[in-house]
């Protein structure tokens, strides 16, 4: 018996995690792929004239079993990885790519889909039909036989490379650790940071010592607090060296081959380069439009960063230091500067940012905006002891299941993300979603509260915004469910949700001191809000440099000599990267771009969406109430529940009534004056 292939009788038909074993996945994939191929063959050979029902709806049903197996597998392989799961992924990834390409280049299927018109269809059906036609064309259905065969080979190889990149990067992240053996090496660190490092040491077999891991939630506080410049440098170099420093786990050749094959894929389809192909069906449309936005913001961001650098260099001189600010120094001296300019000490702030309270704040915000309630269900299945599960309702109606997997562990890839175990749909009856947020916060010692940085709390709100996009989805077809929208639109619901964290109504209620339980004093709250754009030039430069490199990689002339490191260096020189700052993601560990196709030539989308989210929150400000009922209902109807049922420009116009303006983003980031 294979639980992945059975009907699930668990509550809410959740995956029966306690019964699923590693050995179940390969036979489950084999059976699911066989079922998919049989379903597709039946559609392709149907003698009846093509209709929306017997072609599009049939295709929507064809991969349900595969979707169920794959959702469980890829969620586990990214958060509870083992050598066995990685081996299965390396084997199954090209097989999945081959099958998908085979379906979307099948001439019989393409002829049936291409013959359909949107006459008599609902708006939602017409949108789904348009997306299917687009998928066939972009997969290579209009190529000749040789072109289709080559496209299949390219896609299979790209899938293999993506799995290898993830595997190598996770291995590097597991391998890095800075072991500290004396209390003198802890100078400047807070008690909560030291406690978390002691727990990490225990987990890694270094009991009695302290360990800094390669998790961003461990690295960034260390760089901000540690007074030991030599240790800051060691941590920074280890972090940015992921995927580059160890030959046995190097990702350089993987990235180079990936870029070459993407370029070939685009040219097979008649595009000048991969960016032109990838952006054609996004809001941006062209690489030129992307560069236009990024370069519009780069100038004022660089100016602000360089002005801040001069202040940081003055602090070094004041201390008697005889060195130029380096990337491992920036966060440390920026924290000193923040204390001076805003009387704001992270050690003073952090006790108010308890993980438990921030979860409650994110839930309460959703309740006030959308009428949701969250009932924790420790009785429901979960795939790891750290995972928490809530039933989500709107009034008395079950909306879905939300799962939170918040803590870093060696088997989990770095970063934070939202994914699903099941997507919402109503094609053959109501199907409610199962949505999960996965984060990498540092776990405290047993019994102690988990304290977040302010950026950590913002990450939690960001990912929960994605979760709401999946939970509130109210569409008929899986093809347009939840976050199945343009890549440069998908960050709007998540980034918009971050705004509510900064509201006095939220912080005043949930920012409670971990020891005293007292709310954050108004004076401190005012200083937090006043300092929200502190160091914004540097953080914007770090992000923009990665986004510009991403676009450059996928528009460059590519041949066998292509070197991602050389291109990266060339771009940074061309844009005049300020001294003392590094990219947020170097090519060697740029998982957004190389662990899969999702954000390839699409890292810009965070800023593209930010133009909209900065403008969109203005609707609540103009209403005079950040929880205004009418505005929230319009947001629910046009954005959070709408999935991909309409073109993203139309979705935004339906909410805001006009197009967004870049100036809103510059004002939000405090860069208008520099512009």
Task: Please report how the helices 229-240 and 327-342 are oriented relative to each other, as an axis angle in degrees rounded to 10.
Answer: 120
> Residue 407 pairs with which residues in a beta bridge?
441
DSSP 188-223: T--HHHHHHHHHHHHHTT-TTSEEEES-HHHHHHHH
Closest CA to 636 of 390, 425, 394, 374: 394
Q: Supply 181's token pair.
A: 């053996």
The CATH code belonging to domain 3-171 is 1.10.1370.40
Alpha carbon 460 to chain centroid distance?
12
- pLDDT score recorded for residue 675: 39
Q: 428: how many CB neighbours lie within 10 A of its CB?
A: 11
Given the DSSP bridges, would you call strands 388-394 and 210-213 parallel, antiparallel or unpaired?
A: unpaired
How far is the first Cα of the chain from the last one, in angstroms, to the nearest whole number?
A: 64
Q: Which residue has the tokens 């440099």?
A: 545
Which CATH entry fits the domain spanning 351-485+506-530: 3.40.50.620, 1.10.760.10, 1.10.1040.10, 1.10.1370.40? 1.10.1370.40
Q: Which tokens sit at 106?
A: 């099948």
Give the pLDDT confidence score for residue 674 in this predicted structure: 44
Cα angle 255, 273, 252 (rounded to 5 degrees) comes to 10
Choosing from 89, 463, 491, 542, the catalytic residue is: 463
Query: Exposed, middle or buried: residue 115 (CB in 10 Å: 0-12, 13-18, 19+)?
Result: exposed
The residues with which 299 forms a beta bridge, in sequence order, are: none
Instruction: Kindly state the tokens that stand for 600.
Output: 């390839």
Position 187 scores a pLDDT of: 96
Instruction: State the pLDDT at residue 217.
Output: 87
Contact 444, 438 (CB under 8 A): no
Dihedral of alpha carbons 325, 330, 333, 339, sign: positive
Ramachandran assignment for 208, one of left (phi > 0), alpha (psi -120 to 50 degrees), beta (any other): left
pLDDT digits over 85-132, tens only? 999 999 999 999 999 999 999 999 999 999 999 999 999 999 999 999
Is 463 tagged catalytic? yes
Provide the pairing of β-strand 372-376 with 417-422.
Answer: unpaired
Euclidean distance between CA atoms 99 and 76, whole angstroms: 22
pLDDT recorded at residue 152: 96
Splitting the chain (675 residues) into consecutive groups of 10 residues, what average pLDDT does each group show? 95 97 98 98 98 98 98 97 95 96 97 97 97 97 97 96 95 93 94 91 94 92 96 96 91 96 97 97 96 95 96 96 96 94 86 97 98 98 97 97 96 94 97 98 89 93 98 98 96 96 93 95 90 93 97 93 92 95 94 92 94 93 97 98 95 93 86 60
Q: Answer whether 3-171 and 351-485+506-530 agree in fold.
A: yes
Contacts of 516 (CB under 8 A, 6+ apart): none
Domain spans, the chain? 3-171, 176-248, 351-485+506-530
The CA-based dihedral angle spanning residues 96, 97, 99, 105, taken in that order and rounded to the nearest 10 degrees:
160
Predicted pLDDT at 673: 54
What is the H or E stretch that residue 86 is in? helix 83-104
Q: Which helix (H) or strand (E) holds 81?
A: none
Q: How do beta strands 434-441 and 372-376 pair?
A: unpaired
> Rounded to the nearest 5°, which phi and psi values hold at 403?
-120, 140
């Amino acid at each position: 018996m294979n639980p992945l292939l059975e009907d699930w009788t668990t509550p809410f038909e959740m995956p029966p995690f306690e019964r699923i074993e590693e050995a179940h996945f390969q036979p489950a994939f084999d059976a699911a792929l066989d079922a998919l191929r049989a379903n597709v063959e039946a559609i392709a050979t149907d003698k009846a004239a093509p209709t929306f029902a017997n072609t599009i709806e049939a295709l929507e049903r064809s991969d349900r079993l595969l979707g169920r197996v794959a959702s469980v597998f890829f969620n586990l392989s990214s958060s509870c990885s083992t050598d066995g799961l990685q081996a299965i992924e390396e084997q199954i990834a090209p097989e999945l790519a081959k099958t998908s390409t085979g379906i979307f280049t099948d001439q019989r299927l393409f002829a049936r889909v291409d013959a359909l018109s949107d006459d008599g269809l609902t708006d939602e059906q017409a949108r789904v039909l348009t997306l299917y036609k687009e998928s066939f064309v972009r997969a290579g259905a209009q190529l000749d036989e040789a072109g289709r065969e080559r496209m299949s080979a390219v896609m299979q190889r790209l899938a293999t490379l993506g799995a290898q990149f993830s595997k190598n990067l996770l291995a590097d992240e597991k391998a890095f650790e800075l072991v500290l053996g004396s209390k003198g090496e802890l100078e400047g660190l807070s008690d909560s940071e030291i406690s978390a490092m002691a727990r990490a040491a225990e987990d890694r077999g270094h009991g009695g010592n302290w360990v800094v891991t390669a998790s961003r939630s461990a690295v960034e506080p260390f760089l901000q607090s540690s007074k030991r410049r030599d240790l800051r440098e060691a941590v920074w170099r280890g972090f940015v060296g992921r995927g580059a420093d160890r030959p046995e786990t190097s990702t350089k050749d993987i990235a180079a081959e990936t870029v070459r094959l993407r370029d070939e894929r685009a040219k097979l389809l008649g595009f000048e380069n991969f960016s032109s192909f990838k952006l054609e069906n996004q809001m941006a449309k062209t690489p030129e439009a992307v560069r236009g936005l990024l370069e519009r913001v780069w100038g004022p961001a660089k100016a602000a960063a360089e002005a801040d650098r001069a202040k940081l260099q003055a602090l070094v001189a004041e201390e008697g230091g005889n060195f130029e600010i380096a990337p491992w120094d920036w966060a440390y001296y920026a924290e000193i500067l923040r204390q001076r300019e805003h009387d704001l000490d992270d050690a003073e702030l952090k006790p108010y940012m308890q993980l438990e309270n921030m979860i409650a704040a994110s839930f309460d915000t959703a309740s006030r905006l959308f009428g949701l309630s969250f009932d924790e269900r420790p009785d429901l299945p979960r795939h790891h002891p750290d995972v928490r599960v809530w039933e989500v309702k709107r009034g008395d109606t079950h909306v879905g299941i939300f799962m939170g997997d918040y803590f870093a562990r060696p088997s989990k890839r770095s970063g934070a993300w939202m994914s699903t175990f099941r997507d919402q749909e109503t094609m053959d009856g109501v199907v409610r979603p199962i949505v999960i947020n996965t984060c990498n916060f540092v776990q405290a010692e047993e019994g102690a509260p988990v304290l977040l940085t302010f950026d950590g709390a913002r990450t939690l709100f960001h990912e929960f915004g994605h979760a709401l996009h999946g939970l509130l989805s109210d569409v008929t077809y899986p093809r347009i469910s939840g976050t199945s929208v343009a890549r440069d639109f998908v960050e709007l619901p998540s980034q918009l949700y971050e705004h509510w964290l900064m509201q006095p109504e939220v912080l005043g209620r949930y920012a409670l001191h971990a020891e005293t339980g007292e709310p954050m004093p108004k004076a401190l709250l005012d200083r937090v809000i006043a300092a929200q754009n502190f160091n914004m030039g540097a953080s914007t430069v770090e992000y923009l440099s990665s986004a510009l490199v991403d676009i450059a990689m996928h528009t460059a002339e590519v041949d066998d000599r292509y070197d991602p490191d050389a291109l990266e260096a060339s771009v940074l020189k061309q844009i005049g990267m300020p001294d003392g700052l590094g990219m947020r993601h170097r090519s060697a560990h740029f998982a957004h771009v190389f662990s899969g196709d999702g954000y390839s030539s699409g890292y810009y989308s965070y800023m593209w969406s930010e133009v909209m989210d900065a403008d969109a929150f203005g609707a609540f400000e103009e209403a005079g109430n950040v929880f205004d009922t009418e505005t929230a209902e319009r947001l629910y109807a046009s954005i959070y529940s709408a999935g991909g049922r309409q073109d993203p420009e139309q979705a935004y116009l339906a909410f805001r009534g006009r197009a967004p303006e870049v100036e809103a983003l510059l004002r939000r980031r405090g860069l208008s004056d520099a512009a």
